[in-house]
Amino acid sequence: QDGRLVAASNYEPGGVKIFDARTLEQVTDIPAVYGDPDNTRRSKVVGLVDAPGQKFVFSLYDAGEIWIVDVKQPQLPKIKKFKNIGTQPYDGLITPDGRYYIAGLYGENGIAILDLLNPDKGIKRVLNNYGRGDKELPVYKMPHLEGWASTGDYLFIPAVGHHAVHVIDINTWQEVTRITTHGQPVFAIARPDGRQVWVNYAYPDNNVVEVIDVTSLSIIRKLQPGKTVLHMEFTQNGEEVWVSVR
């Protein structure tokens, strides 16, 4: 949180490396070991975020765990592990207020939530209807949780393998509605003023961007800026959006 450290997660060999932000020298290496007493199994690491209080939080894809790492003393990191959070957490995000860490699950339906203000309460599982469901659907591209949109009390979450965006009330963690979309969403990006959410899609519907009005929770515009839409990013004042296409 003070900008002195940079963390990078990796699939192979599996872990997190922390560097001095000024010199880029490695400060510490945290192997994502799990499962056996010999510490020979290592997990892919996903969903790495920085959290209040000089901490990093991330998920272990293969282990089904979430770790909080306190780096107030970078050479002696303190690790708190939360096990059995769900099968194959594929990404994670932190809410804008820094309170909740949310991990999406690929191997089963549902979402794992960790209250960083009260971590001793453990993992809370919500939205058990979120996911691919019983019917195995082709997933052309996984949604990125850092691409979830947060606007006031609502989270706009791309559905996995479905043509829909889930709208979630963060006060109750219940689904408010499900918005039918043009394709399988990849990114849901909020305009800085929180009045709109822009959504792009996976193949074969990746030539379209749709705009959701947050007040009515409905799609109000459909754009076709190019053959393949990859990423979107708003300017700070929200007057323009940069769209990467190819």
Please check whether residues 217 and 191 belong to one and the same domain: yes
* Mean predicted lDDT score pLDDT of the chain: 91
pLDDT in tens, 60-70: 999 999 999 99
214-229 average pLDDT score: 97
Please check whether residues 87 and 193 belong to one and the same domain: no
Q: What is the pLDDT of residue 131?
A: 65
Q: What percent of the chain has pLDDT over 90?
A: 76
Please check whether residues 116 and 162 belong to one and the same domain: no
Q: What is the pLDDT of residue 129?
A: 73
pLDDT in tens, 157-211: 888 778 999 999 999 999 999 999 999 999 999 999 999 999 999 999 999 999 9
Please check whether residues 41 and 19 belong to one and the same domain: yes
CB count, 10 Å around CB of 147? 20
CA nearest to 102, candidates 120, 114, 90: 114
Please check whether residues 90 and 167 belong to one and the same domain: no
42, pLDDT greater than 60: yes
CA nearest to 156, candidates 206, 120, 112, 191: 191
CB count, 10 Å around CB of 210? 21
Q: Are 150 and 100 in contact (CB under 8 A)?
A: no
Instruction: Report the alpha-carbon distance of residue 131 to residue 94 in Å, rounded.
Output: 19
71: domain CATH number? 2.130.10.10
Please check whether residues 143 and 84 belong to one and the same domain: no
Could you tell me the pLDDT band of residue 19, with boundaries at 50, 70 and 90?
Answer: very high
144-157 average pLDDT score: 83
The last residue of a domain, from among 126, 145, 170: 126
Please check whether residues 170 and 203 belong to one and the same domain: yes
Instruction: Report the alpha-carbon distance of residue 69 to residue 215 in Å, rounded.
Output: 38
Q: Which range (11-20, 78-87, 111-120, 150-159) has the least confidence?
A: 150-159
Please check whether residues 60 and 160 belong to one and the same domain: no
Long-range contacts of 195-203 (CB under 8 A, 24+ apart): 195/151, 196/220, 197/149, 197/151, 197/156, 197/165, 198/232, 198/241, 199/156, 199/158, 199/165, 200/229, 200/230, 200/231, 200/232, 201/229, 202/139, 202/140, 202/141, 203/140, 203/141
133, pLDDT greater than 80: no
Task: Domain count for the chain, please give it.
Answer: 2
Please check whether residues 145 and 113 belong to one and the same domain: no
Q: Are 190 and 151 in contact (CB under 8 A)?
A: yes
Which residues are CB-neighbours of 2 under 8 A, at least 6 positions away?
Answer: 54
Could you tell me the pLDDT band of residue 1, with boundaries at 50, 70 and 90?
Answer: confident
Please check whether residues 38 and 69 belong to one and the same domain: yes
51 or 40: which leads in pLDDT: 51
The last residue of a domain, from among 77, 102, 126: 126
The last residue of a domain, from among 81, 103, 126: 126
Q: Strand 164-169 relative to strand 174-180: parallel, antiparallel, unpaired?
A: antiparallel
Long-range contacts of 51-56 (CB under 8 A, 24+ apart): 51/1, 51/94, 51/98, 51/101, 51/116, 52/1, 52/98, 52/116, 53/1, 54/1, 54/2, 55/1, 55/116, 56/7, 56/16, 56/18
Could you tell me the pLDDT band of residue 28, with boundaries at 50, 70 and 90?
Answer: very high
Please check whether residues 56 and 112 belong to one and the same domain: yes
12, pLDDT greater than 60: yes
143, pLDDT greater than 80: no
Please check whether residues 185 and 103 belong to one and the same domain: no
Residue-range definition of the domain harbouring residue 64: 1-126
